[in-house]
Structure 1
């Protein structure tokens, strides 16, 4: 049983929609001496909201989970290593089914124009943050019904048996079965800790949806204002529990969807950090005297997902034909321009358990046409091909890639109509299965293979990030078995078997792994490239 604090018994009479554009007066916080200056980050898009539990993209997480919020455990900067967060330590029972977290004392929630906390962070906040994902009958969830795609994609709704408050600073998670990546999973952004006191106030005021638009966390920066498609303004949190970690007085996200404009702004010092440079602009940015250009191999993969629920895409021969007809070498040259390497399976080669024996299908339009004929489509067919509307770390130019695939498929008689939507709508529709074939991709979130094979291809993820909507029992059985043991050698063997099933069935076409560049002004210190594709500004300063 989930232990429910008394305040959760209230019910909401109605839902009052909060505005997407906020105008909030600046606070009168006393600013610590180390908090100086304003840094402007040229980001690639607007977040869909500020409740990390609802979302799956780096755009959303960079604007919320890594600025406003903290997690029980977190990844060390620039690393996949899990370190203490809001929990200063934790114990695991000998049978691997019970995790006991010992919480930090005297951690303050942010004071904002919309909420003034009366207490510090404690166990009730952890209980609420996980309980709303576990219990659809929770009054807050009824007042603001929403889905939690990451939580369900990884099967945590079935895995977690109970979350119990032992005392104000001790919380116990009991699992239904052993889950090897559990600690890595709850270090992810979706597991950000919300204020139970704030949620109770919203519930009382019939404003539960405000949680997603006017956030309150314990993180290094507090939201001050948001104008959709324009600007997000934050202030450094003077009460942040990591002493000295917040070095910026103000942080501004200048939402700039055009990568060329972002680069121009960076060169002109209108922003000091930018996201996702286009490959064609990398050399120019490297040569700018006022900029630095660190880079590293990306922990990512760009791919083309086939919705196997569509009649003509159910046939594996059709999927193999479509894959074989794509000139991926040409895409690497034109789209990635030297900033990518070919992909062959469903994870990058830097992930442990990667099966290097798996090779991508050769580019062979003649054989592809023969496979279509074998499947009963000698005259081809028409398909909707969804093109990414924004630049992503795994795909620097989704529009050009779609056009090249459209041209390749035309050679085998398949007519592709290119479709696109605004980024938030693109993801929303993709989760419902509206797509035929969809350009998408992934940057690993926790360093565990389950984050690739389970999150992108598991049966539990069909309404989340399994955009292929592929549920293959032999494959799924392998990944479920792999996550239920802590023996890494056994897990590796199972994941390699699963990759062979993937390569045979091709629910998506692997395209490429990109090299990640992080252009930054030389006035900025402390920036590191995060392996998971997000940007973090704690520890960052500006001259």
Structure 2
């Protein structure tokens, strides 16, 4: 064998070896099967209220002028930038060029105007229509410029424009979006097997950064035990909101999975009827707060998973402050406050409890803690939603109740009149006006921090905990959201390890 031939053979053998080794390294997966507890009733978040709709399509298929990121911050999306007038009444948006909907039709200022006019129309069925009522007019100055004129300042308008309810739609798809949605996002609709799953596939004509995934299947599994079994068997790769805290430990001990405990925008509170004695006395409200061990309630209702809160604000929201030390657990101080308020021997009242497991468990714990300061709490179970909504929410015929408030950034409910707390605090109302009048993001966030501090001291409700976001997924999956400032399953940045 000549040296020349040996050289050729060596090169060929080396090349073949590299080819074999290279082919043995599997390419990363480009598909994902994601589990959800509830199947959506439709796929158009601008026309129906259920949270599950946005959890499938928001950011994945539909996009807005702006978006809310994983940390609760407002970021540009279909609007590249915007300008707000000094009086807070005019918003001018500069829209992105060369954006098309998934049916090939262009996104522009005219379609944006159509979307917003539809939200504001008298016959609108948009679930969050009230959030946008400050918009007086919508004008498309040219293809890329949209102008909103407001009737009064609303610093939260940008935040609300990032909600699922304000995603941009293509006019010709309006009547079919519930079953065959058309958006501008990185994924497009493929198939809906009712009762089982929705499939999205990559939108290869997407205007922005291409997703790493080519297909995402949202599989609907209501039973927590079945969710756990599907994870273990490989039937699903991830469940971003696992509904059984008591089953989490088995996954924490399993190296095949990553368990991530974050927070959601749901604040669980014990609302009080501030118009009734003795709850019209701030000292009584403070005493009940200081008689309550928040962590004990979390332990009893969520297997220790959840974040204690000291005001009606979630840790997943930008501007959150931990105010649990404002009125910490202190039974001795609680008894002192009751005596100062004229109740040295306590009092008796009734809590109307919706028949939801978390509420029923929490009420029993609170009943025990209140008894330690001489307060007797009777528990009356209320059928939810029908009976509870009528008695508590509509008629305000109650002393105390307990419920989870799931709407993002809803601290402003304490300034509503009427509302079921029957709470009226001019200082808090002014704080919310200041938030509305803010012309910078820093002013807006500072305003919310001030509002939180007022509620932490005035306690129109007992602030208990932010519901946990329990995420469980296979090792090697990256880009899933830890927290949930907006109820969603945004998979636009999700990928598998190489």
Q: Same fold (TM over 0.5)?
A: yes
SS at match of 1:384: strand
The 1:262–1:505 alpha-carbon spacing in structure 2 relative to 1, beyond 3 Å, is: same
Contact kept, 8 Å, 2:86 with 2:439, in 1: the verdict is: no
Q: CA deviation at 1:118?
A: 6.9
TM-score where L is the length of structure 2: 0.76
Q: 1:538 aligns with which of 487, 492, 498?
A: 492
1:169 aligns with 2:155: no
Question: What is the distance in 2 between the residues matched to 1:308 and 1:194?
Answer: 42
Shift of 1:511: 0.8
Aligned length: 461
Which residue pairs with 2:15 in the alignment? none
Corresponding residue to 2:437 among 460, 466, 484: 484
Aligned to 2:253: 287
Q: Is residue 290–residue 329 contact of structure 2 (8 Å, CA) maintained in 1?
A: yes
Match of 2:411 among 447, 453, 466: 453
Please give the alpha-carbon distance, in whole angstroms, between the structure 1 residues aligned to 2:354 and 2:338. Answer: 25
Task: Give the superposition deviation at 1:256.
Answer: 2.2
Go from structure 1 to structure 2 and tell me whether the alpha carbon gap of 1:131 and 1:503 turns closer, same or farther (over 3 Å shift): same
- 1:303 Cα deviation from its structure 2 partner: 2.3
Which consecutive unaligned segments of at least 5 residues does structure 1 have? Answer: 1-33, 111-116, 203-209, 390-396, 446-450
Distance in 2, Cα, partners of 1:274 & 1:427: 31
- Residues 1:217 and 1:458: Cα distance change in structure 2 (over 3 Å): farther
Q: Corresponding residue for 2:362?
A: 401
1:459-492 per-residue CA deviation (whole Å, 9 max, x = no partner) reads 27x6xxx764645443112211233123677666
* Counterparts in 2 of 1:385 and 1:332: CA distance versus 1, 3 Å: same
Secondary structure in structure 2 of the residue aligned to 1:416: strand
TM-score when normalising by structure 1 = 0.70
How far apart, in 1, do the equivalents of 2:216 and 2:337 lie?
57
Deviation at 1:398, TM superposition (A): 4.6
CA contact (8 A) 2:353 2:381 kept: yes
Counterparts of 1:248 and 1:429 in 2: how far apart (Å)? Answer: 49
CA change 1:313–1:126 in 2 (3 A) is: farther
Q: CA deviation at 1:164?
A: 0.5
One of 506, 509, 519 as aligned partner of 2:472 = 519
Q: Secondary structure at the match of 1:239?
A: coil
Deviation at residue 214 of structure 1 after TM alignment: 5.0
- The corresponding residue for 2:44 is 51
Alignment of 1:392-431 (within 5 A): 397-405=358-366, 408=369, 412-419=375-382, 421=384
Q: What is the RMSD computed on CA atoms of the aligned residues?
A: 4.2
In the other structure, the counterpart of 1:198 is 173
1:113-166, Cα deviation, whole Å (9 max, x unpaired):
xxxx57322223211222233231xxxx2xxx53533x52x5x312x2321011
Distance 1:221 1:211, change over 3 A: closer
User: Separation in 1 of the partners of 2:319 and 2:259?
Assistant: 28
Equivalences for residues 16-415 of structure 1 within 5 A: 38-47=31-40, 49-53=42-46, 58-76=51-69, 78-93=70-85, 95-110=87-102, 117=103, 119-136=105-122, 141=123, 145-146=124-125, 148-149=127-128, 151-152=129-130, 154=131, 156-158=132-134, 160-199=135-174, 202=175, 212=178, 214-219=180-185, 220-222=187-189, 224-225=191-192, 227=194, 230-245=196-211, 247-258=213-224, 260-277=225-242, 278-296=244-262, 298=263, 300=265, 302-306=267-271, 308=273, 315-316=280-281, 319=285, 323=289, 326-348=292-314, 351-352=318-319, 354=321, 356=323, 359-360=326-327, 362=329, 364=331, 367=335, 380-388=348-356, 397-405=358-366, 408=369, 412-415=375-378
Contact 1:35–1:247 (Cα < 8 Å) also in 2? no
Query: 1:113 maps to which residue?
Result: none
1:426 Cα offset (Å)? 8.5
Q: Distance in 1 between matches of 2:443 and 2:96?
A: 36
Separation in 1 of the partners of 2:200 and 2:264?
A: 28
Task: Give the match's secondary structure for 2:158.
Answer: helix
Which of residues 410, 427, 441 in structure 2 aligns to 1:474? Answer: 427
Q: Secondary structure at the match of 2:298?
A: helix
Q: Give, in whole Å, the separation in 1 of the partners of 2:302 and 2:472.
A: 17
In 1, the alpha carbon distance for the partners of 2:324 and 2:221 equals 42
User: Which residue does the alignment assign to 1:18?
Assistant: none
Offset of residue 408 of structure 1: 4.9
Equivalent residue, structure 1, for 2:14: none
What SS does the aligned partner of 2:169 have? coil
The answer on whether the counterparts of 1:302 and 1:511 sit within 8 Å (CA) in structure 2 is: yes
Deviation at 1:323, TM superposition (A): 4.2
Which of 521-530 and 362-371 deviates more?
Answer: 362-371
Call closer, same or farther: CA 1:442–1:270 in 2, change over 3 Å.
Answer: same
Q: In the TM superposition, what is the alpha-carbon distance from 1:54 to its structure 2 partner?
A: 5.8
Q: CA deviation at 1:306?
A: 2.1
| C-alpha deviation, 1:89, in angstroms | 3.3
Match status 1:499 vs 2:452: yes
Q: Which structure 2 segments of 5+ residues have no match? A: 1-26
Q: Is the 8 A contact 1:44 1:275 kept in 2?
A: no
- Contact 2:105–2:170 (CA<8 Å) still a contact in 1? no
- In structure 1, distance between residues paired with 2:209 and 2:442: 40
**Structure 1 residue 53, shift from structure 2 partner:** 3.9
Task: Say if 1:500 and 1:84 are closer, same or farther in 2 by CA, change over 3 A.
Answer: closer
SS in 1 for 2:348: coil
Task: Give the corresponding residue for 2:403.
Answer: 439
Q: Partners in 2 of 1:101 and 1:254 — Cα distance? A: 38
**Measured at CA, do residues 274 and 123 of structure 1 come closer, stay the same or move farther in structure 2, by a change above 3 Å?**
same
Q: Which structure has the larger Rg over C-alpha atoms?
A: 2
